[in-house]
């Protein structure tokens, strides 16, 4: 984010009528919107604070630093994303090989609803890694690994059902999916269409089905 707040200071105490936790949650939501739409380099703390109606001097009543604020925004997004992913990949009404399609369908709806202004926060920040605090790097890596692990478990279950070739490395397969998926999300934002998401999924799954026969 742009260097708008230069150093921590005590500032004014928050308005007594405002619930601290609600305000903190609102700041995280505002930060999430800003970072997802404009990225790290294009975001400024003052815009985030203005949307919530929090004076700049009160920022450090809620967060120890700008770096800590960013870490909480990232963690909040990652938790929400994993919850949505788990709901799709754990849906027992759908065969394991087809559960990823539930996630793709939700992603298409989500990007369309936001008019393709938002993509994947983790993927966006990964592309700006050289501009980020160094502590963000491992945090982003760990989040990607958690997504890969969850998807690998689903692929493994599909493999056990005979829907994926037994010699395919499910962990590597899951990693490759997310590498390609982030590119598809970026292309969807660029062309303002969900078609790249569906095209990528169809191509990816077609390769698995071919190899499983």
Structure tokens at 176: 């490759």
- State what percent of residues in the chain have pLDDT above 70: 89
Q: Which of 40, 63, 86 is the last residue of a domain?
A: 63
Band (14; pLDDT cuts 50, 70, 90): very low
Q: Given 9, 35, 63, which residue is the final one in a domain?
A: 63
Asked whether the predicted pLDDT for residue 18 surpasses 50, the reply is no
CA distances for 92 relative to 120, 151, 154, angstroms: 26, 15, 11
Q: Are residues 116 and 80 in the same domain?
A: yes
CATH number of residue 113's parent domain: 1.10.357.10
Instruction: Give yes or no: residues 85 and 164 share one domain.
Output: yes
In this structure, are 79 and 163 located in the same domain? yes
| In a shared domain, residues 83 and 119 | yes
Average pLDDT over the chain, rounded to an integer: 87
Residue-wise pLDDT tens digits, 97-127: 999 999 999 999 999 999 998 889 999 899 8
pTM of the predicted model, to two decimals?
A: 0.82
Give the pLDDT of residue 54: 87
Domain check: are 59 and 70 in the same one? Answer: no
pLDDT per residue as tens digits for the range 88-98: 999 999 999 99
Q: Domain of 104?
A: 66-212
pLDDT in tens, 142-156: 999 999 999 999 999
* Residues 40 and 145 reside in one and the same domain: no
pLDDT at 109: 96
* pLDDT at residue number 211: 53
Same domain assignment for residues 95 and 185: yes
CATH assignment of the domain containing 26: 1.10.10.60
In angstroms, the CA 138 to CA 178 distance is 17
Per-residue confidence (pLDDT) for residue 203, from 0 to 100: 95
**Is 131 in the same domain as 157?**
yes
- pLDDT tier for residue 43 given thresholds of 50, 70 and 90: confident
Locate tokens 């007594």: which residue?
16
Mean pLDDT to the nearest integer, 155-182: 95
Residues 43 and 107 in one domain: no
pLDDT at residue 39, rounded to an integer: 78
**Short-list 125, 84, 115, CA closest to 189:** 115
Are 97 and 198 in contact by the 8 Å Cβ rule? The answer is no
CA dihedral 55, 58, 60, 61 (to 10 degrees): -140
User: Does 77 share its domain with 123?
Assistant: yes
Tokens at 127, concatenated: 């592309």
SS3 10: coil
């Amino acid at each position: 984010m742009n260097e708008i707040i230069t150093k921590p200071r005590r500032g004014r105490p928050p308005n007594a009528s405002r619930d601290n936790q609600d305000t903190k949650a609102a700041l995280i939501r505002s930060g999430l919107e800003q970072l997802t739409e404009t990225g790290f380099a294009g975001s400024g703390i003052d815009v985030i604070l203005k949307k919530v109606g929090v004076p700049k001097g009160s920022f450090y009543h809620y967060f120890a630093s700008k770096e800590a604020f960013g870490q909480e925004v990232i963690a909040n997004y990652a938790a929400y994303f994993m919850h949505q992913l788990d709901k799709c990949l754990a849906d027992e009404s759908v065969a394991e090989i087809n559960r990823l399609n539930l996630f793709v369908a939700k992603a298409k709806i989500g990007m369309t609803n936001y008019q393709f202004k938002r993509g994947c926060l983790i993927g966006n920040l990964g592309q700006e890694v050289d501009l980020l605090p160094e502590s963000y790097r491992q945090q982003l890596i760990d989040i990607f690994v958690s997504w890969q692990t969850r998807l690998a478990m689903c692929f493994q279950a599909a493999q056990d059902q005979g829907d994926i070739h037994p010699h395919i490395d499910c962990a590597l397969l899951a990693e490759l999916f997310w590498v390609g998926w982030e590119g598809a999300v970026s292309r969807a934002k660029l062309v303002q269409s969900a078609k790249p998401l569906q095209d990528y999924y169809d191509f990816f799954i077609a390769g698995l089905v071919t190899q499983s026969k």
